[in-house]
Structure 1
Amino acid sequence: MNIETLREYVLQKPNVTEGFPFGPDVIVFKVNDKVFLLVPLDTEQLQFNAKCDPDHAIELREQYDAVQPGYHMNKKHWNTVVVDGTIKNNQLLELVDESYDLVSKKKASK
């Protein structure tokens, strides 16, 4: 997977916007004005920060070296995922979907 594939996938979701509130090196994707995905552009390998259910986050970190506690994020709820080929593309997209669903549902329930 590359950055354009990821970006195209994310932008087709309802109510998603992208921006650069932290400067030109990080794309921030929001749903209903809430962040659900951050993609740094200054790394050698593609990676992203995605929100995750806390129990699932722990499982993923135990299962994959490419999944680490979220860099500069709440480590309980966010993972940093390095796209290094050890996680299949469809699984990566499922992590994006989970993050999107968690954030979009949180807004809807208020």
Structure 2
Amino acid sequence: MRDPLITYCLSKKAAAEDYPFGPLPLVMKVGGKMFALITITEEKVSHISLKCDPVIAENLREQHEAVQPGYHLNKKHWNTVAIDGSLTEADVHDMIDHSYDLVLKSLPKTQRLAISQRLV
């Protein structure tokens, strides 16, 4: 059975999983660009790195111990979130949505339109 966070990421329009670094970590992409980097330990997600507006990223880090600057990523634009039960599922989903939306907005207009017109 798939981890619910992976399933949620794949539910986003045109989301695709990729393994550019080997069998782990799992990378979620939209339009060929990464919006989530997922660390899996013991068959479940232990950490998820997500793109984030720099101001929001700082606020999240101040509010939640589980949210840290992106591990091996641009620390201004990425957060790494420990999936340790301290954040609600809704909070993590909101962070995934924000990351996905930022990456989607960065794509060329024609690509964004093609994705928005997909039914799945």
Q: How many corresponding residue pairs?
A: 108
Unaligned regions of 5+ residues in structure 2, if any? 111-120
Contact 2:26 2:37 (8 Å CA) reproduced: yes
Contact 2:66 2:86 (8 Å CA) reproduced: yes
Equivalence for 1:15: 14
Equivalence for 2:34: 35
What secondary structure, in the 3-state scheme, does the structure 2 residue paired with 1:56 have?
helix
Note if 1:53 corresponds to 2:53: yes
Which 4+ runs in 1 deviate beyond 3 A?
42-45
Q: In 1, distance between residues paired with 2:82 and 2:109?
A: 31
Once the two structures are overlaid, the 10-residue window that deviates more, 43-52 or 90-99, is 43-52
Equivalence for 1:97: 97
TM-score, normalised to structure 2, is 0.84
Deviation at 1:45, TM superposition (A): 6.4
What secondary structure, in the 3-state scheme, does the structure 2 residue paired with 1:41 have?
strand
Over residues 35-65 of structure 1, what are the superposed CA-to-partner deviations in whole Å (9 max), with x where a residue is unaligned? 0000012478611000000000000000011
TM-score, normalised to structure 1, is 0.91
CA RMSD of aligned residues (A): 1.8
Over residues 73-105 of structure 1, what are the superposed CA-to-partner deviations in whole Å (9 max), with x where a residue is unaligned? 000000000011111110100000000000001
Larger Rg: 2
Deviation at 1:66, TM superposition (A): 0.3
What secondary structure, in the 3-state scheme, does the structure 1 residue paired with 2:58 have?
helix
Equivalence for 1:88: 88
What percent identity do the matched residue pairs reach?
44
Q: In 1, distance between residues paired with 2:45 and 2:25?
A: 14
